[in-house]
Each structure stands twice: as structure tokens, then as C-alpha cells.
């Protein structure tokens, strides 16, 4: 029997960064209460939540208290051990489930699961010793990409191998016994599909986002992607198969490479809303965070129709290097939307906020956010 969790109920979120903040804002707009759990206080999510639980992720008593106080739990920070989701699942449903989390937080499990489901992934080999790395490089060649299986994000925990001589150095640098070597993908571009699925089996996807990175961190997202309907529907079809294979309830993002030959390979899964989906707040009928609320509460999913061509540019902590950015100058641009995450400390590479704009065409939207960011 599927059950709906209606407005007035309390939603729990594990992790307290910007994704939780935007989820909490969407949830409160719909009349839900929000409780957040993380080791910190005065967090981006805690600032807008009804209640902030500050305790370590392995503090099972505090986790139990948090879980008893909510009707369902979702997360915005997925690098938690399975003991955490096992504990929560005793008191409240966790969406997506701990099993989905377990797949998405371990690159080798993720790639193997996807490949076993006949989903397209780059060629890869499991690597646990330097000898295995050398053997894998002999098979896959160079360039290739060595990645730790766990805890990598935004290019951390990975190394590009340009030639077989670099293996010893790279292995020492990664300092792990659980890694994968991936064939280098000579991609034309990177896209992501953010989608949602509820317990009734309803599925809804946004049309693919086109992403450009700088220093391995997402920099600018554009939608529509301009890739044409054939590649776009193939990308959405792949996302749908991922949701059905893993039985995902909630929101998940599939990051993909589009190869020069027009093929698609999955790079990774993020079992939550994604940075590339932030433009849905201003550009789509239902934003990814409201969709997360709807999906985890088993409500009907909202429309993913887009109001117009849109662009998003991230604001990283580097912009604070000469003090507080010139917000007044930015806010004098009437067509650009500013989102700041309430983080107290700006560090280089730290995601502090983003800008988005909807315009008559994609180029105009991109120019709006790029020019606006240049003012800071």
C-alpha cells in the first residue's frame, strides 16, 4: 500500500548544505516542517529549517531521536555509512533508500551495477594494488583516469594518467586500496539528467542540462542543451532505466558524457538534486527541490515544463578574495536572479551561491549570468 505524506508533516534531511537549504525552502512553501541533521550548527539548511539537530553521523542515539521526529528522511549529503541509513530506516522511510545510496557512493559498485544492467559506462577496471593498476593501464591504455572508489567529488580523489610511467606516482598520491581505472572519454560535452520517481511509479525528468566545468567544478549550466531531440531522448531514457533498475524513490541526477561520435556514457550518479538543476528554481514550472518533496512524499509529480531558455553560473568562494562581492551592482540587473547559501566562510572552490537567468534565447541567458558574475 502506498501512502502519501501530506503538507503539515515533517520532512527530515540528512546533511545541511545548500541542497538541503533549497529543499527546505521548497518544503516550507508547501506547508511542511523540516528537520535537518548534521554535525554543524547555523548551517545553510539549519538557517531555514524548523529544527537543527547537531550531532555526528555515527551518533545512533541522536539519529534515532531525529528519525522519530520526522515522517520521511531524504538527504543532501550522501557520504554516510550504511549504518546511518539502517538506523533511520527503523523509524522512518529513507528516500532514496540506503541501498541506492550504497550504489551511488562507491564508484566501483556504481559502474558495475550500471554495466550489469546493460547501461552505457566507460570501460573500467577495479584496482586495489599498484600491480593491478599497471595491468589495467596495459589493458585500457593512456590517457586514462584513476579514481578512488569512495569519497571523491568535484575531481577530488582522481588523477589523469597521461602515460604508463605515471602509475607509481598516481598510486602513491591517491593512497587507497580501493580504486578504479577508467578509459579516458574523448567527450564532446557533458550533460546531466535530473529526474524524480515516486512510490506510485510515476517518473518525470527535466530535459538534459548542458554543463561546463572549471577546475573540475561545475561552472555554467545551460538548458535546453541544444543537442537535438535524438540525443536528449536517449539521455532521458537512460535516466529512466537507472531509476527503474535501482528502484529510486526521490530525485537523482545522472551525469553523462556525450562522445564525439554522438554516443552517451554515464559518468556518475548523484542520488539527490544536483547543482546543474539549480536553474529549475527560476526556469521551470516545478523546481528540482519541490520535485524532491513531491517524490519522497509520494505526491503527484509536478510539471517539468520550462518557461524559456535558461542559464546558471556558480558563485565560488574565490569571488570573495578581495572582500564581500559587489552585490548592489549585481542586484541592479533586473533579469538576473541571485541565490546565496548563507555560508559563513568563503573559501576558494567553495560553492557560495549561484546566478540564474531566463531569456528569449540561450545565448542571451548565458550572457546575462556571465556578465553579471563579471561584475562581482
Residues at the interface with ligand AMP (CB under 6 A): 122, 145, 152, 155, 158, 182, 184-185, 190, 213, 216, 267-268
Strands of 175-230, DSSP E: 179-183, 187-197, 203-205, 209-214, 217-223
Minimum CB distance to ligand AMP, residue 257 (Å): 7
Pairing between strand 33-38 and 51-54? parallel
Beta bridge partners of 53: 37
Burial 324-353 (b: 16+ CB within 10 A, else e): ebeeeebeebeebbebebebeebeeeebbb
Q: How far apart are CA 117 and CA 3, in angstroms?
A: 29
> For the CA atoms of 15, 21, 23, 29, what is the dihedral angle to 10 degrees?
140
State the angle between helix axes of 229-246 and 107-116 in degrees (0 to 180), rounded to the nearest 10: 110
Identify which of residues 12 and 152 has a Cβ nearer to ligand AMP in the complex.
152
Nearer to ligand AMP among residue 262 and residue 300 (C-beta):
262
Smallest gap from Cβ 116 to ligand AMP, in A, equals 19
Q: Minimum distance from CB of 207 to ligand AMP (Å)? A: 20
Beta carbon nearer to ligand AMP, 88 or 185: 185
- In the complex with ligand AMP, which residue's Cβ is closer, 11 or 253? 253
Indicate the residue among 40 and 123 with the shorter CB distance to ligand AMP.
Answer: 123
Shortest gap between Cβ of 275 and ligand AMP (angstroms)? 11
* Least distance to ligand AMP, CB of residue 182, Å: 4
In the complex, residue closest to ligand AMP by CB? 185
The least distance separating ligand AMP from the CB of residue 181, rounded to whole angstroms, comes to 9
What interhelical angle do 167-174 and 130-140 show, nearest 10? 130
Contact assessment for residue 197 and residue 295, using Cβ atoms and an 8 Å cutoff: yes
- Choose between 41 and 151: whose C-beta lies nearer to ligand AMP: 151
By the 8 A CB rule, do 77 and 17 touch? Answer: yes
Amino acid at each position: 500500500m502506498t501512502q502519501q505524506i501530506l503538507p503539515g508533516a515533517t520532512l527530515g534531511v540528512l546533511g545541511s548544505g545548500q541542497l538541503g537549504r533549497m529543499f527546505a525552502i521548497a518544503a516550507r512553501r508547501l506547508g511542511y516542517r523540516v528537520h535537518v541533521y548534521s554535525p554543524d550548527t547555523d548551517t545553510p539548511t539549519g538557517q531555514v529549517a524548523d529544527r537543527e539537530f547537531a550531532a555526528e553521523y555515527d551518533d545512533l542515539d541522536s539519529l534515532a531521536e531525529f528519525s522519530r521526529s520526522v515522517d520521511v528522511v531524504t538527504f543532501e549529503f550522501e557520504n554516510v555509512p550504511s549504518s546511518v541509513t539502517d538506523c533511520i530506516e527503523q523509524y522512518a522511510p529513507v528516500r532514496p533508500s540506503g541501498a541506492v545510496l550504497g550504489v551511488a557512493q562507491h564508484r566501483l559498485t556504481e559502474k558495475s551495477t550500471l554495466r550489469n544492467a546493460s547501461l552505457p559506462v566507460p570501460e573500467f577496471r577495479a584496482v586495489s594494488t599498484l600491480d593491478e593498476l599497471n595491468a589495467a593501464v596495459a589493458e585500457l591504455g593512456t590517457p586514462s583516469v584513476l579514481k578512488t572508489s569512495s569519497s571523491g567529488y568535484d575531481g577530488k580523489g582522481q588523477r589523469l594518467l597521461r602515460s604508463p610511467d605515471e602509475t607509481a606516482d598516481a598510486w602513491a598520491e591517491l593512497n587507497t586500496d580501493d580504486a578504479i581505472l577508467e578509459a579516458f572519454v574523448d567527450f564532446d560535452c557533458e550533460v546531466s539528467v535530473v529526474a524524480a520517481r515516486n512510490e506510485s511509479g510515476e517518473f518525470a525528468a527535466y530535459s538534459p542540462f548542458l554543463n561546463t566545468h572549471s577546475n573540475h567544478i561545475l561552472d555554467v549550466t545551460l538548458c535546453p542543451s541544444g543537442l537535438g531531440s535524438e540525443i536528449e531522448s536517449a539521455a532521458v531514457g537512460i535516466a529512466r532505466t537507472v531509476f527503474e533498475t535501482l528502484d529510486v524513490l526521490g530525485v537523482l541526477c545522472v551525469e553523462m558524457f556525450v562522445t564525439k561520435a554522438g554516443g552517451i556514457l554515464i559518468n556518475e550518479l548523484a542520488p539527490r538534486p544536483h547543482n546543474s538543476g539549480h536553474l529549475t528554481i527560476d526556469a521551470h514550472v516545478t523546481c528540482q527541490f519541490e520535485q524532491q518533496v513531491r517524490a519522497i512524499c509520494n505526491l503527484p509529480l509536478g510539471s517539468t515544463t520550462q518557461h524559456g531558455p535558461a542559464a546558471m553560473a556558480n558563485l565560488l568562494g574565490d569571488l570573495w578574495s578581495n572582500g564581500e562581492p559587489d552585490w548592489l551592482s549585481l542586484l541592479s540587473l533586473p533579469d538576473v536572479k541571485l541565490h546565496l547559501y548563507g555560508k559563513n566562510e568563503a573559501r576558494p572552490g567553495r560553492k557560495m551561491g549561484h546566478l540564474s537567468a531566463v531569456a528569449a534565447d540561450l545565448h542571451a541567458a548565458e550572457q546575462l549570468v556571465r556578465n553579471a558574475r563579471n561584475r562581482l
